[in-house]
């Protein structure tokens, strides 16, 4: 009888570790992985910016890329002959994508 109780005790000590491992897996699937994917998309978007692209900053400023500087900044034209210098990281992927959607998709 004592052998059966010892065998059951061994499984009971593994069970909490499996529970904690499952919690880490769920956290990775629902929290960490999507953030990493979004960060990768944002970096790719910023690296692919070119002159003439219409953008929106994270502060909500709309403009057109006029010049891309080597030091990681952009010069954007916000109105005729009005320029701002911003960091590349200040460009919003979501708002810029919404701005550049075709008109047919926006009307739906």
Q: What is the pLDDT along the chain (108 residues), one digit of tens a residue?
A: 445 445 555 566 788 888 899 999 999 888 989 999 999 999 999 999 999 999 999 999 999 999 999 898 999 999 998 999 999 999 998 888 888 887 555 555
Buried b (16+ CB within 10 A) or exposed e, 17-31: eeeeeeeeeeeeeee
CB atoms within 10 A of CB 102: 7
67: left (phi over 0), alpha (psi -120 to 50) or beta: beta
What pLDDT shows up at residue 12? 67
What pLDDT shows up at residue 13? 76
What pLDDT shows up at residue 58? 92
Would you kindly state where each structural domain of the chain is located, as residue ranges?
A: 1-48, 50-107
What pLDDT shows up at residue 51? 93
Q: Write the CA distances from 41 to 45, 80, 84, integer angstroms.
A: 6, 31, 25
What pLDDT shows up at residue 64? 94
What pLDDT shows up at residue 9? 53
pTM above 0.85, yes or no: no
For the segment(s) 50-107, the CATH number from 2.60.40, 1.10.238, 2.30.30, 3.40.50 is 2.30.30
What pLDDT shows up at residue 11? 62
């Amino acid at each position: 009888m004592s052998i059966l109780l010892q065998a059951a005790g061994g499984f009971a000590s593994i069970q909490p570790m499996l529970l904690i491992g499952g919690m880490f897996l769920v956290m990775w699937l629902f929290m960490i992985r999507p953030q990493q994917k979004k960060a990768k998309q944002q970096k790719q978007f910023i690296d692919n910016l070119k002159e003439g692209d219409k953008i929106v900053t994270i502060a909500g400023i709309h403009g057109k890329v006029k010049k891309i500087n080597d030091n990681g900044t952009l010069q954007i034209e916000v109105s005729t002959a009005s320029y701002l210098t911003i960091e590349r990281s200040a460009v919003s992927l979501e708002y810029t994508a919404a701005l550049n959607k075709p008109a047919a998709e926006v009307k739906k």
